[in-house]
Amino acid sequence: MTPSVPDPNSSATGRDSRATGGDSGRESSPAPYAAREVTGSEARRVAEAARETEWVRPSFVRELFLGRLRMDLIDPFPEPAVQDGEAGERFLLELEGFLRGLDPLAMDEAAGIAPEVLDGLRRLGAFGIKIPKEYGGLGFSQRTYSRAMALCHSHSSAISVLLSAHQSIGVPQPVRMFGTSEQKRKYLPRVAKGAISGFALTEPDVGSDPARITSAAVPTEDGEAFILNGEKLWCTNGPVAELLVVMARTPHREGGRSGITAFIVEADSPGVSVEHRCSFMGLQGIENAVLRFRDVRIPRDNLLLEEGRGLKLALATLNAGRLSIPWVCAASGKWCVQVSREWATVRRQWGVNIGRHEAVAHMISGMAADTFAMQAIAELAVALSDSGEYDIRLEAALAKLHNSEVGWRVVDDAMQIRGGRGYETAASLARRGEPAIGVEQELRSMRINRIFEGSSEIMRLFIAREALDPHLQAAGSLLDPDASPGRKARDAVRLGWHMAGWLGGTLMGGRGRFGYRRYGSLAGHLAFADRSARRLARTLARAMVRYGPKLEQRQAVLFRLVDVGAEIFAIAAACAWAQKRLAEQPDDRTPLKLADMACRRARRRIGSLFRRVFDPLDGAEYAFAQEVMAGDYGWMEKGILEPPAPVGFDRPVGRA
């Protein structure tokens, strides 16, 4: 089956004005909120207001950053609240059969997904995998959904992105979580049947700093609707979506302060237009666009949650949305391991198979071990989610961070092992009679996972903020420049008692290898993880004492500590999942060997990260970077044809 290529200037989407970017000649009202610079403190206030500040349910990762390795929270793996059973397995088999009937090479070369492919996915119910049966969905668990996304990615990343953007961050997830009963009855059956949806948050000048959002929705005089104006960038599914969740600034009901509000927008509403179809390095079949909203009328009934709480909705939605990325990355790792090991046993250089050369053997060893760790983390994250008994905001973030970073390393090694055949496209390989193994396609598709739904840097900042939260609460007014000296003195004493008690707990209570004896050959790794968790907590305390309120600016320090936490998480997940596999198949010892190698590699990385936490080169590197950006070394850039300067940047003429 060969997908057709949609014409961006046709009415194939069913909406002429959207396809051409027209607005039926309507005059566009100016947005009442002009673009403006936002101070760091204001941006932090907006972000803090959107945070969930309470921890009602347990979190393994939160405990980890407090210095406690709570294996009792993850081993045995939590049971799902609902079992999918044979129905779930049957769906996955049908999905696999459908995917095998598609041509992945044609899909990679097409700009968009063919209508017959979309219709096939609709017949399978793939647009409603997680939507409850009472609303026409399949009602399956996060695990079945994640397995489906992994299957799709192994065939066409465009399909997995389409379904994920629709179902994890598009209309289904926020309506399920925050919609009224009327909204659920109205929209969930539509999206379950295949009415494609998208999520519109990012703007041309707004990425991870939502305080700068300029899209605005102003109430009508009668209060029955809102008028939306603005532009959204990189809206996945935008060109083909029937429904959108759009974030826009609204006047706050208390005083004149504004807030961010979430709306359900019918994509064929007058004034909604596709201004530009975006194309990317990878994900060739993805539907993605710049969307423009000109005087779009939104009924008040389409408001999600309540006015001013859109960012809370967005963050909660993204928590669940991130869970499929670790599975996709693990699926990529499996594919790369299979490709690499098979190639390493048939490709001969200097008289032996290349897998016999130590350099290649080490790469394959690392790929297999790291892929096991990725799958263990993916399995654990969805198990915690499906149980409904845990707060998974940190687990989802850490799983996304770890697997997207490790997955990129794995696919890069696969490229190196395949060499020229890895760099050559699958289509070119096929034309000259070789198997169409698209390593370069996999590399192109994998790279985005370190960027979207929270870049690696944003994930580390988010995790670090949550890790510091108990101590920031104890600090009270110490971080408030306007607090009185007396209040700061009282809070300093309180913080001192808090830190003393907390640090005391990290110095004692370790279980040692004997305490983890039920894990057999893996006991030593968990004892190391236990010690490392307590060391992580103490190092975090040292950083707080050393830098005080300026710690948030020492991102290199915080990022290394977060990465230590990610590696400890990988050790714990690998050991817990190996135990689960061993209990299910007692005669198979391979999970123990995979877990052992994964833990050995994680321990080596943890040691390196701890040694470099307070790297003396950090300050010099930061100062040097400022000089580079100031153009002090512009002479080094001479001798090239200069690239276009970014918008808003005035490139000096005649640099030294």
The pLDDT tens digits for 48-95 are 666 777 888 999 999 999 999 999 999 999 988 888 999 999 999 999
**Helices 523-547 and 485-507 sit at what angle, rounded to 10 degrees?**
160
Task: Please give the torsion angle defined by the CA atoms of residues 573, 577, 579 and 585, in that order, rounded to the nearest 10 degrees.
Answer: -170
User: Mean of the pLDDT values across residues 141-164?
Assistant: 93
**CA nearest neighbour of 264 among 305, 236, 231, 292:** 305
Over the stretch 378-394, which tens digit does the pLDDT of each residue have? 999 999 999 999 999 99
Contact 358, 284 (CB under 8 A): no
Does the pLDDT value for residue 344 go beyond 80? yes
Give yes or no for a contact between 500 and 476, defined as CB atoms under 8 angstroms apart: no
What burial class does residue 30 get, using C-beta atoms within 10 Å of its C-beta: 0-12 exposed, 13-18 middle, 19+ buried?
Answer: exposed
HSE of 18 in the Cβ direction (CA atoms, 13 Å)? 22
Please, which pLDDT band fits residue 584 given cuts at 50, 70 and 90? very high
Higher pLDDT, 340 or 252: 340
348: DSSP letter: E
Q: Give the Cα separation of 603 and 594 in Å (integer).
A: 14
Fold match flag (78-195 vs 198-318): no
Peptide bond into 3 cis (omega under 30): no
Of the candidates 25, 652, 74, 607, the one whose C-alpha atom is nearest the C-alpha of residue 384 is: 74
pLDDT of res. 10: 34
Residue 440 in tokens: 């370069």
Contact status, residue 182 vs residue 301, Cβ threshold 8 Å: yes
Q: For position 106, what pLDDT does the model report?
A: 82
Least confident of 203-212, 222-231, 500-509: 500-509
Q: Is the pLDDT of residue 412 over 60?
A: yes
pLDDT of the residue at 39: 67
Helix ranges, 508-554 (H): 512-515, 523-547
CATH 2.40.110.10 applies to domain 198-318:
yes
CA distance 631 to 621: 16
Mean pLDDT of 317-341: 93
Distance between CA atoms of residues 172 and 165, nearest Å: 10
Tell whether the model's pLDDT for residue 124 goes beyond 50: yes
Does the domain at 78-195 match CATH 1.10.540.10? Answer given as: yes
Give CA–CA dist 543/644, Å, rounded: 41
**Of 399, 407, 426, 424, residue with least CA distance to 562:** 399
Contact 578, 377 (CB under 8 A): no
Q: Is the predicted pLDDT of residue 43 greater than 90, yes or no?
A: no
Q: Where are the domains of the chain?
A: 51-77+322-630, 78-195, 198-318
What is the DSSP pairing of strand 272-277 with strand 288-299?
A: antiparallel
Q: Which residues make beta-bridge pairs with 266?
A: 243
Query: Residue 288 in contact with residue 280, Cβ under 8 Å?
Result: yes
Supply the pLDDT for residue 317: 87
Amino acid at 290: V
Does 51-77+322-630 carry CATH code 1.10.10.60? no
* Mean pLDDT of all residues belonging to the chain: 87
Structure confidence at residue 406 (pLDDT):
98
DSSP 425: -
Q: Are 414 and 442 in contact (CB under 8 A)?
A: yes
Res 545: pLDDT: 80
Q: How far apart are the first and last CA of the chain?
A: 57
- pLDDT over 80 at 210, yes or no: no
Q: Active-site positions?
A: 453
CB contact at 8 A, 3 and 114 = yes
Confidence at residue 24, expressed as pLDDT on a 0 to 100 scale = 38
Averaged over 15-40, what is the pLDDT?
Answer: 46
- The H or E element containing residue 232 is strand 225-236
What digits encode the pLDDT tens for the residues 421-433? 999 999 999 999 9
pLDDT band at 503 (very low <50, low <70, confident <90, very high): low
Q: How confident is the model at residue 467 (pLDDT cuts 50, 70, 90)?
A: confident
State which of 34-38, 286-290, 395-399, 633-637 shows the largest mean pLDDT.
Answer: 395-399
- For residue 480, the model assigns a pLDDT of 59
Q: Please tell me the predicted confidence (pLDDT) of residue 475.
A: 63
The CA distance from 509 to 504, in Å, is 10
The residue count of the chain comes to 656
Q: Which of 29-33, 373-377, 460-464, 505-509 has the least mean pLDDT?
A: 29-33
Please give the pLDDT value at position 224: 94
